[in-house]
């Protein structure tokens, strides 16, 4: 399914070309002016751009320092090969900074949030900053009309609920049927995916009645189409955005 402008996915933008999230996040790190298209406020960085009449804001949910890059990247290579590649590119071989960046897409009709960050459980480790970031960019959680979950890893679903209640009180939800079925299935119990299964039961299942479960090619909202991108997770989705221009 097609929805996210995060570090793991990209928007297909038709004639406008493809916008890869890492390019946005490079500017993110340099953001200084909170009054301009890029900014930082309350410790939260964000980047805003226009695509036709659509306003896209990428918001940092925070960063986390992790060790052993070879356990996350280059899993089909040896640890020594990954370390050598990092060293050749002047990067540390023993650690990396992982960034988490949900995206808000304001179409003029809908305010669509792609993924929700870690939420309250991430705050002790320096993440869970999405709601503060929304406020810094001029939005509040109750203005979000659609929440799209690209896949159901903890850094994407953790912010769905706060203190046991929906964080985005006026939103409906859209996610992939394949992804939901995988994580909800009790067959995950006793496997490495068990913690993910438990998180989905806590964060996603309570919202199921407000959720539209979709497949490849479905319309998320007018102008945004779901695209299957299975691999990072069993039912991972990304999205195609067709910009429109108002005259």
pLDDT at 28 over 50: no
Is 1 part of any domain? no
Number of domains composing the chain:
2
Are residues 175 and 220 both part of a single domain? yes
Distances (CA, A) of 164 to 133, 135, 154, 178, 206: 21, 21, 16, 25, 10
pLDDT at 236 over 60: yes
Is 247 part of any domain? no
Distance separating alpha carbons of residues 154 and 122, to the nearest angstrom = 10
The CA angle 209-212-217, to the nearest 5 degrees, is: 170
Distance separating alpha carbons of residues 227 and 247, to the nearest angstrom = 29
Between 38 and 183, the higher pLDDT residue? 183
pTM: predicted TM-score of the whole model, two decimal places: 0.80
Is 84 part of any domain? yes
Are residues 92 and 129 both part of a single domain? no
The CA R_g of the chain, rounded to the nearest whole Å, is: 18
Q: Does residue 239 come out as left (phi exceeding 0), alpha (psi in the -120 to 50 range) or beta?
A: beta
Are residues 162 and 128 both part of a single domain? yes
Least confident of 10-24, 82-96, 126-140: 10-24
Are residues 38 and 83 both part of a single domain? no
pLDDT for res 239? 84
Residue 194's domain comprises 10-61+101-241
pLDDT at 121 over 60: yes
pLDDT for res 178? 97
Between 246 and 11, the higher pLDDT residue? 246
Are residues 92 and 107 both part of a single domain? no
What are the beta bridge partners of residue 73? none
Are residues 83 and 201 both part of a single domain? no
Is 198 part of any domain? yes
pLDDT for res 6? 35
223 with 167: CB under 8 angstroms? no
Are residues 137 and 212 both part of a single domain? yes
Are residues 93 and 117 both part of a single domain? no
Residue 240's pLDDT band (cuts 50, 70, 90): confident
Residue 243's pLDDT band (cuts 50, 70, 90): low
Is 4 part of any domain? no
Are residues 78 and 172 both part of a single domain? no
Share of residues in the chain with pLDDT > 90 (%): 68
Are residues 21 and 112 both part of a single domain? yes
- Over residues 155-196, the pLDDT tens digits come to 999 999 999 999 999 999 999 999 999 999 999 999 999 999
Angle between helix 177-184 and helix 194-203 axes, rounded to 10 deg = 110
Are residues 231 and 179 both part of a single domain? yes
């Amino acid at each position: 399914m097609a929805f996210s402008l995060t570090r793991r996915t990209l928007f297909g933008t038709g004639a406008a070309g493809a916008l890869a999230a890492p390019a946005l996040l490079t500017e993110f790190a340099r953001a200084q002016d909170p009054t301009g298209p890029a900014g930082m406020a309350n410790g939260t960085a964000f980047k805003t751009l226009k695509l036709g009449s659509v306003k896209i804001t990428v918001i940092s949910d925070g960063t986390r320092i992790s060790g052993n890059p070879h356990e996350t990247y280059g899993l089909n290579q040896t640890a020594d090969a990954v370390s050598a590649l990092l060293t050749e590119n002047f990067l540390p071989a023993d650690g990396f900074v992982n960034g988490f960046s949900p995206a808000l897409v304001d179409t003029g009709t809908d305010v669509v949030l792609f993924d929700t960050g870690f939420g309250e459980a991430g705050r002790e480790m320096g993440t869970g900053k999405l709601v503060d970031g929304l406020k810094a960019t001029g939005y509040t959680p109750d203005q979000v009309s659609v929440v799209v979950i690209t896949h159901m890893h903890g850094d994407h679903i953790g912010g769905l609920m706060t203190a046991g209640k929906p964080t985005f009180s006026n939103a409906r939800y859209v996610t992939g049927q394949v992804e939901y079925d995988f994580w909800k299935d009790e067959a995950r119990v006793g496997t490495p995916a068990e913690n993910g299964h438990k998180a989905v039961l806590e964060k996603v299942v309570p919202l199921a009645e407000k959720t539209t479960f979709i497949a490849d090619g479905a319309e998320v909202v007018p102008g945004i189409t779901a695209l299957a991108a299975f691999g990072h997770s069993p039912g991972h989705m990304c999205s195609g955005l067709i910009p429109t221009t108002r005259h």
